[in-house]
Structure 1
Amino acid sequence: MPLTAIVLAAGEGTRMKSRHPKVMHKLLDRPLVGWTVDCARRAGCSRIIVVVGHGAQEVRDYLSTFDDVEFVEQPQQLGTGHAVRCVFDTLFADAPVNTINDRFVVLYGDSPLMRPQTISWLTDKSTARNDACTILTMTPPSPTGYGRIVFEGGQVKAIIEHKDCTPAQQEELRECNSGMYCFEGSSLAQGIAQLSNNNAQGEYYLTDMIAWLNKHGSNVSAVHCEEYTELLGVNSRVQLASASKIMQQRINQQHMENGVTMLDPTSVWIGPEVTIGQDTEILPNTLLFGHTSVGTNCVLGPSTRLTNATVGNNCTVDETIIVDSSIDNNVSCGPRAYLRGGTHFKDGAKAGTHVELKNTVVGEGSKVPHLSYLGDTTMGSGVNIGGGSITCNYDGVHKNKTTIGNNAFVGSDTMMVAPVTIGEGAVTGASSCIYEDVPAGALGIERSRQVIKEGFATARQQRLEKGNK
């Protein structure tokens, strides 16, 4: 039976105190709603419908990269029931009710901790029992604020909101409603059209579906989620931090179980799309985000950040930032190196201390040891870049290329004014400004003549001392 996810993501989230919609705040490196959509996809949902409202365009822009996401607008946020009604009014208005045979799982764009296997478990149970509705429930340490489940003969007869519970019910009813459901399609279509907003808030509540289904003799049951943290929502920045910590522990534990060493897991932050090979060690204050891939037997950190980076095997990445760049095998970076903008280090290359490279290819065994900047550069193998050297690649309008041949030796404090080529095996003299091509095997040197003025410093000091008297 096809499974459709309805992701409710229209709320403003006033407690976030932000100009951005709540579901666009990031947990690790992914917006909250992205976690829910990805979870639904991995749970096997063949159709994912996201209900947008507050900040709709920002949510649409982010999710537009997902080919399997559809959007439904909720122009006024009139409750969870109204959000689901908008889905049926928009996408199923012309479909006869008895032809809507999908199962619908209702999820929330601010609940990033749900596991795909929990959704699959919920929907499998719902299908096996032939339920019109199956409620995912939990027993949090403090049930304050949650609706309580009332059972009768194994069926769910009612959900009583916390504020409506008597003191005895608050004490006795410990099973809580997570707000996540699996509905049989035709039952949901019929019931959602008949919900009333006859309440103090003038809103349509999805929980009212339970009473409607019971009234019509339909099966309503519950499945209990043992790990209640999966079902926690994020309504404030404090709760966002708490959820981030839970996800951090979950991800780090998985990597450690797969053969990754962490000296202090509490100080390591890894995004959901990162892959790490066995016997790699991650030192404190290291962040791995985006589509980052790390090979085997590497040492990362301390104080390292990789974003959309590819790291080969047997690499050392110490106090280094790598963004949208790659290093191959046996490469050493840092401390305090910065690789960005499509930089590529080939096997055995090195980036030393206080080195920045942008859109640069560093050949096999080549070294950029310290205090240098190289931009828009292609260098061959066996090159040595002396300390304090830079490429002057930007003329104020265009970025220009520097090419350095195999086994070239660039002396310390060399300025390479692009576009320029330093040939294979060529040498540049220290403190040279190279603005013309240096042929292969040649020496390129450009210096002003040094001038000595005997006694100048002594005379100057005497004048200063006399003037101070």
Structure 2
Amino acid sequence: MTNYAVILAAGKGTRMKSDLPKVLHKVAGISMLEHVFRSVAAIAPEKTVTVVGHKAELVEQVLAGQTEFVRQTEQLGTGHAVMMAEPVLEGLAGQTLVIAGDTPLITGESLKNLIDFHVNHKNVATILTAEAENPFGYGRIVRNQQEEVIKIVEQKDASDFEKQIKEINTGTYIFDNARLFEALKNINTNNAQGEYYITDVIGIFRENGEKVGAYTLKDFDESLGVNDRVALATAEGIMRRRINQAHMVNGVSFVNPETTYIDVDVHIEPEVQIEANVTLKGQTKIGAGSVLTNGTYIVDSVIGEQTVITNSMIEESTVADGVTVGPYAHVRPDSSLAKNVHVGNFVEVKGSSIGENTKAGHLTYIGNSEVGANVNFGAGTITVNYDGQHKFKTVIGNNVFVGSNSTIIAPVELGDNSLVGAGSTITKDVPADAIALGRGRQINKEEYAKRLPHHPDNK
């Protein structure tokens, strides 16, 4: 049969205390809505409808071109939200998943199991449930002797016996699509909140003698719905443990996985060693055999094999095989380091390409530069790329030696095999094979030091 999905993403999320729609708050690098959408993809829905409302334009941008959108201009409850999907789904044969956009931990595997259970048991509706150690505050699942669901009872309405039930409603459901929208026409707002509840259709199905079942999650953590920042942090912690465990199973070593923060889309090859307090964000890729030491922070970058990144930051850049970076280096966006480059302590690279085997050991700034192979930067070298209004480019050829404390003022080009004397200020192009000296002239004043108060002869 055909599957459909309705994702509820219209709420503001008042308890988040945020201008951002609740479903757009991020867990492990992507929004909660994207997590839900990816899990929903596991059931291969023919149509996915996302119900938007609060700041709908922002929500639509996240899933643009991937789902149909309907708008709930007034937030009148979960039942009302699903009603908004009626123009897209009414009358279609198949089953429809209804899931909240603030449940980022539900896995695609669990949703596939829910669908299979629903179809195999020929239910008109199936509720995804979980076993809670402390069920206080949750809607309880009341079953009959045939394990069919009789009703969902909320905490405030539960009897003393019903309050002892540990099986709770997660807010995720599968319905026969046609019957869902027929039943929604019969629910009302006769409740304390004055809202249309999706759970009311369960009672309608039972009154008609139709079969309602429940499928219980194996892992209670998947049921978490995020309503505030505390729950958001809980979801983040659970998701990161999942991510790190998956990497360890794939052959990545962690010194302390509890203090390592890896976004969901990061790819890491086997035999990588990751020390504590490492953060890997966005679309980062780490090559096999690399070592990331304590304090390393990498965003949207590709790191080659057998690299060593020591307590450094790399952003939106490419690092080839065998490169060593750090400690305390900063590779800023749009930079590329070729094979076996060494960028040492307190070196900053920005918007530059650096050729194979080039070394900048310490205290150097390389900005808006095209650097060849086998170049050596002495300590304290600066490429001066900005005049206060415009950026300019420095081009450095192969096998160039730049002496310590040199200032290279762009636009300028240093030819192959050239040498810049230590302490030089370079403002003109240096031809290949030339030596450039741009120092001020040294003058020694004999015996003048004796005139100074601090000289030993004056004490």
- TM-score norm. by structure 1 comes to 0.93
Matched with 1:157 is 150
Q: CA deviation at 1:110?
A: 1.1
Aligned to 1:408: 400
**CA deviation vs aligned residue, 1:180-230 (integer Å, no higher than 9, x gap):** 001111011111222211222110000001011122232211111120100
What does residue 20 of structure 1 align with?
A: 20
1:437–1:102: structure 2 CA closer, same or farther, 3 Å change rule?
Answer: farther
Q: Give 1:52-451 correspondences, 5 Å limit.
A: 52-64=52-64, 67-89=65-87, 91-92=88-89, 97=91, 100-152=92-144, 153-171=146-164, 173-451=165-443
**1:455 CA displacement:** 5.1
CA distance in 2, matches of 1:168, 1:270: 44
CA distance in 2, matches of 1:199, 1:144: 20
Using the alignment, how far apart are the partners of 1:18 and 1:461 within structure 2?
64
CA distance in 2, matches of 1:127, 1:226: 19
- Matched with 2:3 is 3
SS of the residue corresponding to residue 374 of structure 1 reads strand
* Alpha-carbon distance in 2 for matches of 1:427, 1:71: 63
- Structure 1 regions of 5+ residues with no counterpart? none
- Mapped to 1, the partners of 2:3 and 2:449 lie a distance apart of 86
Q: Deviations over 1:369-425 (max 9, x none)?
A: 111111111111111111111211123333221111111111112222111111111
CA contact (8 A) 2:21 2:54 kept: yes
2:112 counterpart SS class? helix
The one-letter code sitting in structure 2 at the alignment partner of 1:168 is F
Q: Provide the secondary structure at the position in 2 that maps to 1:252.
A: helix
The 3-state SS of whatever aligns with 1:123 is helix
One-letter amino acid of the counterpart of residue 25, structure 1? H
Aligned-partner SS, 1:244: helix
In 2: Cα distance, 1:198 partner to 1:458 partner: 99
**Which deviations, in whole Å up to 9, do the C-alpha atoms of 1:406-456 show, x marking residues without a partner?**
111111122221111111111111121111111111111111112334455
Q: Deviations for 1:129-168, whole angstroms, at most 9, x for unmatched residues?
A: 2221111011111101111111122221111111100122
Partner of 1:44: 44
Distance 2:332 2:70 in 1: 38
Relative to structure 1, the CA distance from residue 379 to residue 157 in structure 2 (aligned partners, 3 Å threshold; closer, same or farther) is: same
8 Å contact kept, 1:41–1:48: no
Letter in 2 for 1:280: V
Q: Specify the code of the residue in structure 2 equivalent to 1:140.
A: A
RMSD (Å), alpha carbons: 1.7
* SS across alignment from 2:123: coil
User: Distance between the aligned counterparts of 1:164 and 1:409, measured in 2?
Assistant: 80
Provide the rounded CA distance (Å) in 2 between the counterparts of 1:295 and 1:446: 42
Greater displacement, 190-199 / 348-357: 190-199
Across the two proteins, how many residue pairs are aligned to each other? 455
Secondary structure, counterpart of 1:54 in structure 2: coil
Deviations 1:13-61 (A, max 9, x none): 2221122222121112112112111221244234332211223222223
Report % sequence identity. Answer: 38
Letter in 2 for 1:30: I
Preserved contact between residue 145 and residue 162 of structure 1 (Cα < 8 Å): yes
Residue 241 of structure 2 aligns to a residue whose secondary structure is helix
The answer on whether the counterparts of 2:134 and 2:166 sit within 8 Å (CA) in structure 1 is no
- Looking at structure 2, the residues matched to 88 and 345 of structure 1 have their Cα atoms a distance apart, in angstroms, of 54
Q: How far apart, CA to CA, are the structure 2 residues paired with 1:136 and 1:404?
A: 63
Q: Secondary structure at the match of 2:85?
A: helix
Q: Which amino acid aligns with 2:282?
A: G
Asked whether the equivalents of residues 3 and 43 of structure 2 are also in contact (C-alpha less than 8 Å), the reply is no
Give the residue type in structure 2 aligned to 1:63.
L
Decide whether the 8 Å contact of 1:7 with 1:48 is kept in 2: yes
Distance 1:79 1:338 in 2: 49
Query: Which consecutive aligned stretches of 4+ in structure 1 deviate over 4 angstroms post-superposition?
Result: 454-458
* SS of 1:378 mapped into structure 2: strand
TM-score, length basis structure 2: 0.95
Counterpart of 1:316 in structure 2: which amino acid?
V
Rounded to whole Å, the distance in 2 between the matches of 1:47 and 1:262 is 41
Q: 2:354 & 2:43 partners in 1: Cα distance?
A: 43
Secondary structure of the corresponding residue to residue 145 of structure 1: coil
The amino acid of 2:332's aligned partner reads R
Q: Distance in 2 between matches of 1:5 and 1:301?
A: 43
- Following superposition, the deviation at residue 458 of structure 1 comes to 4.5
